């Protein structure tokens, strides 16, 4: 029976649509493979027929503010072997084990094991050995340059610079904080290979260069840093403390000019097999560890009082106000005495300046209680207590401040003279800087530029966080502290003609909630010149043996640092 023309037309139409559908599917598949997934599939294909060696870029240098190199990189090599490309494993093993001082059997096993695509023979190979390997011209043996870190002065500035891992990645300090700028971008050497991974000798080797890291320029002045390091070593030798620390800042800008801690670590010979020593001596405790500041904190209390007085607060004391009996106070049943009354007998009739000179605890108790919890805490906040300074460094702690809602009169009284509050050394010198520089809290910083030879990537400028007190209050506090350094407890730091100001502190340490007998933190924070402060330093001596007063253990060493800065900067005497 013959089909009708209508049926034939239907079949042709169905066949046509079927062919169109198949072509559409094929076209869609091709479109997906070539257009949508094309780049991914091409990358996978390239990966299958090529072998690559990483090229580690040169890590950027770390320099001081004057351009002196503190951390740099030298080139070493990593030697690889690809067994599928090795034509004579025995000769390769004999020669390379000799050059690299490796076990023959180990090298032979790696050079002949074709089940492994690539094996590392040795890292940190020097240039001389690398040249010997190049002369051998072995198939299947490759070398990749691998910069390694070198620190110009070893244990100098060690807790600030930090260190890198064996893979050249920043682990601590500036090396870690600015790692993304310092590390650069890796390159590659691409070689074509056959299906079993053997290199095709007549094909082109593709070299994709890495991009070297950027250089980081610190605010640290290596001359001032050297002075600090030498002074800290002198303190360790003379007083045999647990540790000695120092920060030197520019109070006008917030720049950290020196930051030293002894003992430290040798960055070129890290004790990686002794993690406890590495952790203990590698931390920047000037901003990670807290302590009770003691009498150095009276600067903040005095500044808060004067600012409130000039703002018209009748509960604040004028500079000329005469405090009566200042031998002791009893707060909530607890007696707070003045240490000078034990030494010199009873004393009366002290002004605020006298109280700073004599470091009289009861008077600062009076000030804190008179200002009251809310007002005093407002100033603690303005000066940065209980919060981080914002320095460009990881791990900074915020200190320890009793919450305002929980503070008692006894707590408030003791905070007034530097107890029942814990700060970092960086917090305290930042706050003192604000008290004397005109009243501005400057954000401390360690890096001023990030750059390469032909490009400036970033430049950091001084940052004002807030105003703590007025210029008038600041000027008067600076002059009062000059009198402390000239005639009071800080006189061993005074330098004729340079108007040094400052305050000593001697705080007993607490262990397990109790006073640790015979253990003290001795300190001095000072600045010069008092009429226009520029340089400030804090010296902290933890658990000195024998003498323990800040006036004898810390102040004289701050004087040495200031004298050396004067000589270095050729600073003229002031009226």
Residue pLDDT, tens place only, 374-409: 999 999 999 999 999 999 999 999 999 999 999 999
Segment 177-190 shows an average pLDDT of 86
Q: pLDDT at position 49, please?
A: 47
Q: Model pTM?
A: 0.83
Task: Provide the pLDDT for residue 200.
Answer: 52
Catalytic residue among 73, 158, 243, 295: 295
CA atoms within 13 A on the CB side of 209: 4
pLDDT at 40 over 90: no
Per DSSP, the three-state class of 81 is: strand
| Chain position carrying tokens 């030298």 | 74
Give ∠ CA 471-475-481 in degrees, rounded to 5. Answer: 145
Tell me: pLDDT of 515 over 90.
Answer: no
Spatial distance between the Cα atoms of 66 and 368, rounded to a whole number of angstroms: 44
Q: pLDDT tens for residues 323-333?
A: 887 777 888 87
Would you kindly state where each structural domain of the chain is located, as residue ranges?
A: 51-81+121-218, 222-445+461-569
pLDDT > 50? residue 154: yes
Report angle CA 435, 436, 439 to the nearest 5 degrees: 55
The answer to whether residue 188 scores a pLDDT higher than 90 is no
What is the CATH code for 222-445+461-569? Answer: 3.40.710.10
Q: Which residue has the higher pLDDT, 87 or 469?
A: 469
Establish whether 295 is a catalytic residue: yes
Q: Which of 340-344, 449-453, 488-492, 546-550 has the lowest mean pLDDT?
A: 340-344
CATH, domain range 51-81+121-218:
3.90.1310.10
pLDDT at 269 over 50: yes
Determine whether 524 is exposed, middle or buried from the number of CB atoms within 10 Å of its CB (0-12, 13-18, 19+).
buried
Confidence grade of residue 336 (pLDDT, cut at 50, 70, 90) = confident
Percent of the chain clearing pLDDT 90 (strictly above): 68
């Amino acid at each position: 029976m013959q089909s009708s023309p209508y049926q034939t037309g239907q079949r042709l139409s169905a066949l046509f649509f079927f062919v169109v559908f198949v072509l559409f599917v094929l076209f869609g598949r091709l479109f997906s493979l070539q257009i949508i997934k094309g780049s991914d599939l091409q990358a996978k294909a390239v990966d299958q027929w090529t072998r690559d060696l990483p090229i580690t870029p040169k890590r950027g240098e770390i320099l001081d503010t004057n351009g002196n190199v503190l951390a740099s990189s030298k080139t070493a090599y990593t030697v690889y072997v690809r067994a599928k490309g090795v034509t004579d494993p025995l000769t390769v093993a004999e020669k390379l084990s000799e050059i690299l001082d490796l076990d023959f059997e180990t090298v032979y096993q790696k050079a002949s094991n074709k089940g492994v695509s690539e094996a590392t023979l040795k890292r940190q190979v020097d240039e001389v050995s690398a040249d010997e390997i190049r002369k051998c011209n072995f198939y299947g043996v490759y070398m990749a340059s691998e910069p390694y870190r070198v620190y110009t002065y070893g244990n100098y500035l060690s807790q600030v610079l930090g260190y890198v891992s064996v893979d050249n990645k920043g682990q601590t300090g500036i090396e870690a904080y600015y790692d993304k700028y310092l590390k650069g971008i890796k390159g590659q050497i691409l070689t074509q290979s056959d299906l079993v991974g053997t290199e095709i000798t007549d094909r082109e080797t593709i070299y994709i260069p890495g991009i070297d890291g950027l250089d980081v320029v610190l605010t640290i002045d290596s001359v001032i840093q050297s002075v600090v390091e030498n002074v800290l070593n002198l303190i360790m030798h003379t007083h045999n403390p647990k540790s000695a620390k120092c920060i030197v800042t520019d109070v006008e800008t917030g720049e950290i000019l020196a930051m030293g801690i002894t003992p430290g670590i040798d960055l070129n010979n890290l004790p990686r097999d002794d993690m406890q020593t590495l952790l203990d001596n590698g931390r920047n405790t000037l901003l990670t560890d807290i302590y009770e500041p003691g009498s150095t904190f009276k600067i903040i209390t005095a500044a808060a009082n004067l600012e409130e007085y000039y703002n018209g607060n009748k509960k604040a004391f004028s500079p000329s106000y005469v405090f009566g009996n200042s031998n002791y106070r009893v707060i909530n049943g607890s007696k707070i005495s003045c240490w000078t009354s034990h030494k010199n007998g009873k004393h009366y009739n002290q002004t605020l300046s006298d109280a700073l000179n004599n470091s009289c605890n009861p008077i600062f108790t009076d000030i804190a209680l008179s200002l009251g919890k809310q007002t005093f805490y407002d100033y603690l906040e303005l000066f940065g207590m209980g919060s981080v300074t914002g320095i460009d460094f990881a791990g900074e702690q915020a200190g320890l401040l009793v919450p305002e809602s929980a503070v008692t009169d006894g707590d408030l009284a003791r905070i007034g003279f530097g107890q029942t509050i814990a700060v970092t050394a960086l917090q305290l010198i930042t706050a003192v800087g604000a008290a004397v520089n005109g009243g501005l809290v400057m954000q401390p910083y360690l890096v001023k530029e990030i750059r390469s030879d032909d490009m400036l990537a970033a430049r950091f400028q001084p940052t004002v966080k807030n105003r703590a007190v007025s210029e008038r209050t600041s000027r008067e506090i600076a002059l009062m502290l000059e009198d402390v350094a000239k005639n009071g407890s800080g006189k061993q730091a005074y330098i004729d003609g340079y108007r040094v100001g400052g305050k000593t502190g001697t705080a007993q340490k607490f262990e397990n909630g109790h006073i640790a007998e015979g253990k003290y933190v001795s300190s001095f924070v000072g600045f010069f010149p008092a009429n226009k402060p520029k340089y400030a330093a804090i010296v902290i001596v933890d658990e000195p043996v024998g003498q323990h007063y800040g006036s004898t253990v810390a102040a004289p060493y701050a004087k040495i640092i200031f004298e050396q800065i004067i000589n270095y900067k050729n600073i003229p005497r002031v009226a």
